[in-house]
Structure 1
Amino acid sequence: MRNVRHREISAHGSVLPAVYRDAAFLKALAIIAGEPVLECPYEPERYVITELRHSGDTHGWHWDDYSFAVVWVVACPPVEHGGFVQCVPRTHWNKADPQLHRQFIGRSIHSFELGPGDLYLLRADTTLHRVYPLTRGRRLIVNMGYASRADLGKSVSHETMDSLWNEAPEEQTA
C-alpha cells in the first residue's frame, strides 16, 4: 500500500483540506450519521490518499481509532478482481486483545461492490472492515477520518494508525 499522508496533502493541496472542513459537507454527514461529525483531533488521521496496485494488496481487517470514515473511491477494479469492501457491524475493538476471528462468530460479513466515483460513510470504530485483496487492477481512495463527541473525551493511542500511514512520532500533532 502506498500513502500520501495528511501533512503532504496539507502542504501541497487545497481542495481536500477545504472539503474536509466544509460546513455543508459536515452537516450532511451529521444528518446521515444521526449525530455531529467532528474534525478528527489527531491530524494524521484526518485525511490520507491510499493506493493498492499489486495482486494480494489489501487493507486487512481492522477498526479505526475514531468513529467515522468517509471514503472517496477514485479508482477500483471490478468485483471479480477485488473491487469490494467487507464489514462486520456492531463489533468492539479491544486493542489489548482484539480476538479478531472471534468477531466473525455469529455475525454476518457484509460485502459491498465499489466503483470509481463511489463515496461511503462508515461507522469505523464499531465496524470491523477490510478491503478485499486485489487480484488485478488498482484501488485509489481518499480516506477522511472524523470524530464523534464521545471520541473527544477518550484517550486514544495511535500506534496502529501511525504504523499503517507510516507516520514518524516527531511529525505528529494531536
Structure 2
Amino acid sequence: MRRGISFKETGHTPRHMRNVRHKEIDDHGSVIPEVYSSADLLRTLGRVAGEPVLMCPYEPERYVITELEQSGDTHGWHWDDYSFALVWVVDCPPAEHGGFVQCVPGTHWNKQDPQVHRQFLEQPIHSFELRPGDLYLMRTDTTLHRVYPLSRGRRLIINMGYASQADLHKQISHETMDGLWHGSREEQAGQTV
C-alpha cells in the first residue's frame, strides 16, 4: 500500500513510501516470521545490544516491509515506540541518490512536543551509507532517525521491531504506528494526521 502522511507526534515529518504490513506478511509468508522469532537471532541481538532483546508485544510492529521508489520518497525523522529495530537492506541506491540512514542518538521523544529540529542543535547528526545485503541494529526509542529522501533508485527493507525489558513495563501508545501501517481516512484524503 502506498503511503503519503505526516504525524504531529514527530513534528509533521513526512512519510512517503509503499509498505507491506505485518498481517500481510503473516498471511502470505513464513520465512520472515520464522527468522523474527528465532531463539538464536534473539540471543545474538541481545549480545550485540548488551541487554535482552525481546519479541515486540505489539504484533503490528514486529515486522514490515517498506519500499521507497519515487523521487522524494522518505521515511522522515521519527522515533519508534519500542527499543530496537533490526533492518535488513534488500535494495538501496548509492548515497548520492539518497536512501541512506541519518540518526541522532541520545534523544528523548515527547509525543506532545517532539521538538525535532531542536534535537539537531543539541546532538550531531550521523549518516550511514547502506548497500544491498547490509543489516543493522538500531536503538530506535532514544535515537531520532530517518531515511534521507530518494532522488533516484529504490530502497527496499525488512524492518523487525523488538522490545527491551523496560518496554514491557511502560505505557506505550501506538498512534503513529497505527496511522502509518494501517492508514486512516485522513491519509486516504491526503491530509496530515
Measured against the shorter chain, the TM-score band is: over 0.9
Match of 2:123 in 1: 107
Give SS of 1:163's match: helix
Q: Note the alpha carbon deviations across 1:130-163, whole angstroms, 9 max, x for none.
A: 0000000000000000000000011111011111
One-letter amino acid of the counterpart of residue 37, structure 1: V
One-letter amino acid of the counterpart of residue 141, structure 1: I
Q: Note the alpha carbon deviations across 1:51-72, whole angstroms, 9 max, x for none.
A: 0000000000000000000000
Give SS of 1:117's match: coil
Cα drift, residue 167 of structure 1: 5.2
Cα drift, residue 164 of structure 1: 1.3
Match of 2:42 in 1: 26
**TM-score normalised over the length of structure 2:** 0.85
One-letter amino acid of the counterpart of residue 43, structure 1: E
In 2, Cα distance between the equivalents of 1:139 and 1:55? Answer: 11
Cα drift, residue 165 of structure 1: 1.1
In 1, Cα distance between the equivalents of 2:180 and 2:68? Answer: 13
Aligned partner (choices 84, 89, 109) of residue 100 of structure 2: 84
Task: Tell me the C-alpha RMSD between the 2 structures.
Answer: 0.9
Identity within the alignment, %: 76
Match of 2:70 in 1: 54
Within the alignment, does 1:118 sit opposite 2:134 as a pair?
yes
Cα drift, residue 107 of structure 1: 1.2
In 1, Cα distance between the equivalents of 2:45 and 2:139? Answer: 11
In 2, Cα distance between the equivalents of 1:84 and 1:48? Answer: 18
Match of 1:171 in 2: none
In 2, Cα distance between the equivalents of 1:30 and 1:115? Answer: 24
Structure 2: which 5+ runs fail to align? 1-16, 185-193
In 2, Cα distance between the equivalents of 1:109 and 1:167? Answer: 30
Consecutive aligned runs of 4 or more in structure 1 exceeding 6 Å deviation:
none
In 2, Cα distance between the equivalents of 1:61 and 1:144? Answer: 18
Match of 1:98 in 2: 114
In 1, Cα distance between the equivalents of 2:55 and 2:152? Answer: 35
Give SS of 1:105's match: helix
One-letter amino acid of the counterpart of residue 118, structure 1: D
Aligned partner (choices 73, 79, 85) of residue 89 of structure 2: 73
Question: Are the equivalent residues in 2 in contact too, given 1:44–1:167 (CA < 8 A)?
Answer: no
Match of 1:139 in 2: 155
In 1, Cα distance between the equivalents of 2:73 and 2:171? Answer: 31
Cα drift, residue 106 of structure 1: 2.8
One-letter amino acid of the counterpart of residue 13, structure 1: G
**TM-score normalised over the length of structure 1:** 0.95
One-letter amino acid of the counterpart of residue 139, structure 2: R
